[in-house]
Structure 1
Protein backbone atom coordinates (compact mmCIF):
# COMPACT_ATOMS: atom_id res chain seq x y z
CA UNK A 1 0.00 0.00 0.00
CA UNK A 2 1.23 3.51 -0.73
CA UNK A 3 1.54 6.23 1.91
CA UNK A 4 -1.35 8.11 0.27
CA UNK A 5 -3.79 5.35 1.25
CA UNK A 6 -2.88 5.80 4.93
CA UNK A 7 -3.16 9.60 5.01
CA UNK A 8 -6.86 9.81 6.00
CA UNK A 9 -6.31 7.50 8.96
CA UNK A 10 -3.18 9.46 9.90
CA UNK A 11 -5.19 12.68 9.90
CA UNK A 12 -7.70 11.18 12.30
CA UNK A 13 -5.14 9.55 14.62
CA UNK A 14 -2.23 12.02 14.52
CA UNK A 15 -3.81 15.45 14.17
CA UNK A 16 -2.90 18.13 11.66
CA UNK A 17 0.39 19.26 13.23
CA UNK A 18 1.75 15.71 13.37
CA UNK A 19 0.71 15.03 9.78
CA UNK A 20 2.51 18.16 8.63
CA UNK A 21 5.58 16.97 10.50
CA UNK A 22 5.29 13.55 8.84
CA UNK A 23 4.89 15.23 5.45
CA UNK A 24 7.98 17.36 6.06
CA UNK A 25 10.01 14.29 6.98
CA UNK A 26 8.65 12.15 4.15
CA UNK A 27 8.44 14.86 1.48
CA UNK A 28 6.24 17.81 0.70
CA UNK A 29 3.50 16.02 -1.23
CA UNK A 30 1.04 16.19 1.69
CA UNK A 31 1.89 19.62 3.08
CA UNK A 32 -0.61 22.21 1.87
CA UNK A 33 1.03 25.22 0.20
CA UNK A 34 4.50 23.69 0.31
CA UNK A 35 5.21 24.28 -3.39
CA UNK A 36 4.36 27.96 -3.05
CA UNK A 37 6.57 28.32 0.02
CA UNK A 38 9.43 26.51 -1.71
CA UNK A 39 9.10 28.77 -4.75
CA UNK A 40 9.11 31.86 -2.53
CA UNK A 41 12.41 30.69 -1.08
CA UNK A 42 14.17 30.58 -4.46
CA UNK A 43 16.89 33.09 -5.21
CA UNK A 44 14.92 34.90 -7.98
CA UNK A 45 11.86 35.22 -5.74
CA UNK A 46 13.99 36.63 -2.92
CA UNK A 47 15.49 39.14 -5.36
CA UNK A 48 11.99 40.09 -6.56
CA UNK A 49 10.84 40.75 -3.00
CA UNK A 50 13.93 42.85 -2.32
CA UNK A 51 13.34 44.93 -5.47
CA UNK A 52 9.70 45.45 -4.48
CA UNK A 53 10.80 46.59 -1.02
CA UNK A 54 12.67 49.46 -2.72
CA UNK A 55 9.44 50.90 -4.17
CA UNK A 56 9.71 54.69 -4.28
CA UNK A 57 13.51 54.84 -4.06
CA UNK A 58 14.74 57.58 -6.42
CA UNK A 59 16.60 56.93 -9.65
CA UNK A 60 20.29 57.80 -9.57
CA UNK A 61 22.54 57.35 -12.59
CA UNK A 62 25.16 54.74 -11.67
CA UNK A 63 23.57 54.16 -8.24
CA UNK A 64 23.54 50.65 -6.76
CA UNK A 65 21.61 51.26 -3.53
CA UNK A 66 20.64 51.00 -0.86
CA UNK A 67 18.67 54.25 -1.24
CA UNK A 68 19.08 55.22 -4.94
CA UNK A 69 19.25 53.00 -8.02
CA UNK A 70 19.66 52.97 -11.76
CA UNK A 71 18.08 50.02 -13.59
CA UNK A 72 20.96 47.56 -13.40
CA UNK A 73 21.88 48.87 -9.96
CA UNK A 74 18.48 47.71 -8.69
CA UNK A 75 18.88 44.22 -10.18
CA UNK A 76 22.49 43.99 -8.95
CA UNK A 77 21.47 45.08 -5.43
CA UNK A 78 18.42 42.78 -5.28
CA UNK A 79 20.26 39.66 -6.39
CA UNK A 80 23.30 40.44 -4.21
CA UNK A 81 21.05 40.70 -1.14
CA UNK A 82 19.41 37.43 -2.19
CA UNK A 83 22.84 35.75 -2.42
CA UNK A 84 23.99 36.05 -6.06
CA UNK A 85 26.50 38.48 -7.51
CA UNK A 86 25.65 39.98 -10.90
CA UNK A 87 27.81 42.16 -13.16
CA UNK A 88 27.21 45.91 -13.16
CA UNK A 89 25.52 46.84 -16.45
CA UNK A 90 22.31 45.63 -18.11
CA UNK A 91 24.26 44.28 -21.10
CA UNK A 92 26.72 42.42 -18.84
CA UNK A 93 23.83 40.99 -16.83
CA UNK A 94 22.15 39.81 -20.03
CA UNK A 95 25.38 38.13 -21.11
CA UNK A 96 25.56 36.30 -17.75
CA UNK A 97 21.98 34.93 -17.69
CA UNK A 98 20.46 31.84 -19.25
CA UNK A 99 18.32 33.20 -22.07
CA UNK A 100 14.72 32.03 -22.08
CA UNK A 101 11.63 32.64 -24.18
CA UNK A 102 8.71 34.77 -23.08
CA UNK A 103 6.60 31.63 -22.77
CA UNK A 104 9.06 30.23 -20.18
CA UNK A 105 9.52 33.39 -18.11
CA UNK A 106 8.86 33.20 -14.39
CA UNK A 107 8.60 35.71 -11.61
CA UNK A 108 12.10 36.78 -10.62
CA UNK A 109 13.57 36.44 -14.12
CA UNK A 110 15.30 39.46 -15.59
CA UNK A 111 13.66 41.40 -18.42
CA UNK A 112 16.08 43.11 -20.79
CA UNK A 113 14.95 45.90 -23.09
CA UNK A 114 16.88 46.12 -26.31
CA UNK A 115 17.32 48.09 -29.47
CA UNK A 116 18.68 45.75 -32.13
CA UNK A 117 21.24 43.65 -30.29
CA UNK A 118 22.07 46.29 -27.67
CA UNK A 119 20.50 45.95 -24.23
CA UNK A 120 19.74 49.35 -22.68
CA UNK A 121 17.46 48.61 -19.69
CA UNK A 122 16.68 45.82 -17.21
CA UNK A 123 14.00 45.02 -14.65
CA UNK A 124 12.82 42.03 -12.60
CA UNK A 125 9.75 40.19 -13.87
CA UNK A 126 6.91 40.39 -11.34
CA UNK A 127 4.32 38.35 -13.24
CA UNK A 128 1.26 39.38 -15.25
CA UNK A 129 3.37 41.32 -17.76
CA UNK A 130 4.86 43.66 -15.14
CA UNK A 131 8.37 44.44 -13.88
CA UNK A 132 9.99 46.14 -10.94
CA UNK A 133 12.51 48.63 -12.25
CA UNK A 134 14.17 52.00 -11.82
CA UNK A 135 13.24 53.71 -15.09
CA UNK A 136 15.03 57.05 -15.53
CA UNK A 137 16.17 60.34 -14.05
CA UNK A 138 13.35 62.01 -12.14
CA UNK A 139 11.56 58.72 -11.51
CA UNK A 140 11.49 56.13 -8.72
CA UNK A 141 11.60 52.35 -8.38
CA UNK A 142 8.16 51.12 -9.36
CA UNK A 143 6.03 48.29 -10.69
CA UNK A 144 5.13 48.89 -14.32
CA UNK A 145 3.64 47.04 -17.26
CA UNK A 146 6.14 45.97 -19.94
CA UNK A 147 5.56 48.56 -22.66
CA UNK A 148 7.24 46.95 -25.67
CA UNK A 149 7.80 43.59 -27.32
CA UNK A 150 11.51 44.41 -27.77
CA UNK A 151 12.56 42.46 -24.70
CA UNK A 152 14.71 39.47 -23.91
CA UNK A 153 14.33 37.32 -20.82
CA UNK A 154 17.15 35.91 -18.75
CA UNK A 155 17.27 33.57 -15.78
CA UNK A 156 19.96 34.10 -13.18
CA UNK A 157 21.87 30.87 -12.58
Structure 2
Protein backbone atom coordinates (compact mmCIF):
# COMPACT_ATOMS: atom_id res chain seq x y z
CA UNK A 1 0.00 0.00 0.00
CA UNK A 2 1.26 3.45 -0.91
CA UNK A 3 0.82 6.29 1.57
CA UNK A 4 1.73 9.55 -0.12
CA UNK A 5 1.87 13.26 0.33
CA UNK A 6 -0.85 15.67 -0.72
CA UNK A 7 1.60 17.69 -2.88
CA UNK A 8 2.15 14.65 -5.13
CA UNK A 9 -1.53 14.66 -6.09
CA UNK A 10 -2.52 15.94 -9.53
CA UNK A 11 -5.72 15.90 -11.55
CA UNK A 12 -5.51 14.20 -14.94
CA UNK A 13 -8.57 13.61 -17.14
CA UNK A 14 -10.85 14.34 -14.20
CA UNK A 15 -9.17 11.86 -11.86
CA UNK A 16 -7.08 12.64 -8.80
CA UNK A 17 -3.81 10.80 -9.22
CA UNK A 18 -1.01 10.22 -6.70
CA UNK A 19 2.25 10.41 -8.65
CA UNK A 20 4.06 8.57 -5.87
CA UNK A 21 1.65 5.64 -6.13
CA UNK A 22 2.50 5.25 -9.83
CA UNK A 23 6.22 5.56 -9.07
CA UNK A 24 5.88 2.86 -6.41
CA UNK A 25 4.09 0.54 -8.86
CA UNK A 26 6.83 1.16 -11.44
CA UNK A 27 9.59 0.34 -8.94
CA UNK A 28 7.89 -2.96 -8.09
CA UNK A 29 8.18 -4.14 -11.70
CA UNK A 30 11.07 -6.54 -12.23
CA UNK A 31 13.74 -4.86 -14.32
CA UNK A 32 12.96 -1.27 -13.26
CA UNK A 33 15.83 0.26 -11.27
CA UNK A 34 14.53 3.83 -10.83
CA UNK A 35 11.25 5.57 -11.61
CA UNK A 36 9.71 9.03 -11.55
CA UNK A 37 6.36 10.34 -12.78
CA UNK A 38 5.42 13.90 -13.71
CA UNK A 39 2.25 15.53 -15.01
CA UNK A 40 3.11 17.67 -18.05
CA UNK A 41 1.42 19.00 -21.14
CA UNK A 42 1.40 16.25 -23.74
CA UNK A 43 1.47 16.33 -27.51
CA UNK A 44 -2.31 16.78 -27.59
CA UNK A 45 -2.07 19.93 -25.45
CA UNK A 46 -3.75 18.40 -22.38
CA UNK A 47 -2.16 17.34 -19.10
CA UNK A 48 -0.70 13.84 -19.37
CA UNK A 49 1.39 11.57 -17.17
CA UNK A 50 5.04 11.07 -18.10
CA UNK A 51 6.95 8.15 -16.62
CA UNK A 52 10.74 8.21 -16.48
CA UNK A 53 12.48 4.90 -15.88
CA UNK A 54 15.94 3.43 -15.63
CA UNK A 55 15.85 -0.26 -16.49
CA UNK A 56 18.06 -3.32 -16.35
CA UNK A 57 19.23 -4.96 -19.58
CA UNK A 58 16.46 -6.94 -21.26
CA UNK A 59 13.66 -4.67 -20.07
CA UNK A 60 12.07 -1.94 -22.20
CA UNK A 61 9.38 0.73 -21.90
CA UNK A 62 6.70 -1.27 -23.72
CA UNK A 63 7.13 -4.24 -21.36
CA UNK A 64 6.97 -1.89 -18.38
CA UNK A 65 3.80 -0.20 -19.73
CA UNK A 66 2.13 -3.58 -20.27
CA UNK A 67 2.97 -4.79 -16.75
CA UNK A 68 1.92 -1.48 -15.20
CA UNK A 69 -1.45 -1.63 -16.99
CA UNK A 70 -2.14 -4.92 -15.18
CA UNK A 71 -1.77 -3.35 -11.74
CA UNK A 72 -3.15 0.18 -12.18
CA UNK A 73 -6.32 1.66 -13.69
CA UNK A 74 -5.91 2.95 -17.25
CA UNK A 75 -6.00 6.62 -16.20
CA UNK A 76 -2.95 6.05 -13.95
CA UNK A 77 -0.76 4.47 -16.64
CA UNK A 78 1.58 7.17 -18.01
CA UNK A 79 0.84 8.18 -21.61
CA UNK A 80 4.59 8.43 -22.19
CA UNK A 81 7.32 6.25 -20.70
CA UNK A 82 10.81 7.58 -21.28
CA UNK A 83 13.80 5.30 -20.76
CA UNK A 84 16.93 6.89 -19.35
CA UNK A 85 20.28 5.40 -18.40
CA UNK A 86 20.02 7.05 -14.97
CA UNK A 87 17.55 9.52 -13.53
CA UNK A 88 19.12 12.90 -12.66
CA UNK A 89 20.03 13.52 -9.03
CA UNK A 90 20.64 16.66 -7.00
CA UNK A 91 23.91 17.20 -5.14
CA UNK A 92 22.16 15.66 -2.10
CA UNK A 93 21.48 12.45 -4.02
CA UNK A 94 17.74 13.05 -4.36
CA UNK A 95 15.79 12.86 -7.61
CA UNK A 96 16.06 16.12 -9.56
CA UNK A 97 12.58 16.36 -11.10
CA UNK A 98 13.36 19.69 -12.77
CA UNK A 99 16.16 18.02 -14.74
CA UNK A 100 13.90 15.33 -16.23
CA UNK A 101 13.82 16.05 -19.97
CA UNK A 102 10.82 17.00 -22.04
CA UNK A 103 10.08 14.15 -24.45
CA UNK A 104 11.14 14.58 -28.06
CA UNK A 105 7.87 13.79 -29.82
CA UNK A 106 9.36 14.29 -33.30
CA UNK A 107 12.06 11.66 -32.95
CA UNK A 108 9.80 9.03 -31.44
CA UNK A 109 9.42 7.09 -34.66
CA UNK A 110 9.46 7.42 -38.41
CA UNK A 111 6.25 8.71 -39.98
CA UNK A 112 4.53 6.10 -42.15
CA UNK A 113 1.56 7.58 -44.03
CA UNK A 114 -1.80 5.81 -44.34
CA UNK A 115 -1.74 3.19 -47.12
CA UNK A 116 -5.43 2.99 -48.00
CA UNK A 117 -8.74 4.80 -47.63
CA UNK A 118 -9.64 3.17 -44.30
CA UNK A 119 -6.29 4.11 -42.71
CA UNK A 120 -6.65 7.64 -44.12
CA UNK A 121 -10.12 8.00 -42.53
CA UNK A 122 -8.86 6.73 -39.18
CA UNK A 123 -5.87 9.09 -39.30
CA UNK A 124 -8.19 12.04 -40.01
CA UNK A 125 -10.44 11.10 -37.08
CA UNK A 126 -7.45 10.79 -34.74
CA UNK A 127 -6.08 14.13 -35.96
CA UNK A 128 -9.38 15.82 -35.14
CA UNK A 129 -9.89 14.13 -31.76
CA UNK A 130 -6.28 14.51 -30.59
CA UNK A 131 -5.57 17.91 -32.17
CA UNK A 132 -2.43 16.63 -33.90
CA UNK A 133 -1.56 17.48 -37.50
CA UNK A 134 0.19 14.33 -38.72
CA UNK A 135 -0.65 10.80 -37.63
CA UNK A 136 0.88 7.75 -39.27
CA UNK A 137 -0.02 4.09 -39.17
CA UNK A 138 2.69 3.31 -36.61
CA UNK A 139 1.45 5.87 -34.08
CA UNK A 140 -0.25 4.79 -30.86
CA UNK A 141 -3.54 6.48 -29.95
CA UNK A 142 -2.67 6.35 -26.25
CA UNK A 143 0.93 7.54 -26.62
CA UNK A 144 -0.37 10.54 -28.58
CA UNK A 145 -2.52 11.56 -25.61
CA UNK A 146 -5.64 9.53 -26.33
CA UNK A 147 -7.67 7.90 -23.57
CA UNK A 148 -11.04 6.22 -23.11
CA UNK A 149 -13.06 9.46 -23.17
CA UNK A 150 -11.33 10.69 -26.33
CA UNK A 151 -11.91 7.28 -27.94
CA UNK A 152 -15.66 7.79 -27.51
CA UNK A 153 -15.51 11.15 -29.30
With structure 1 as the length reference, what TM-score do the two structures score?
A: 0.23
Which is greater in Rg? 1
With structure 2 as the length reference, what TM-score do the two structures score?
A: 0.24
Q: Which has the higher contact order (CA 8 A, sep 6+)?
A: 1
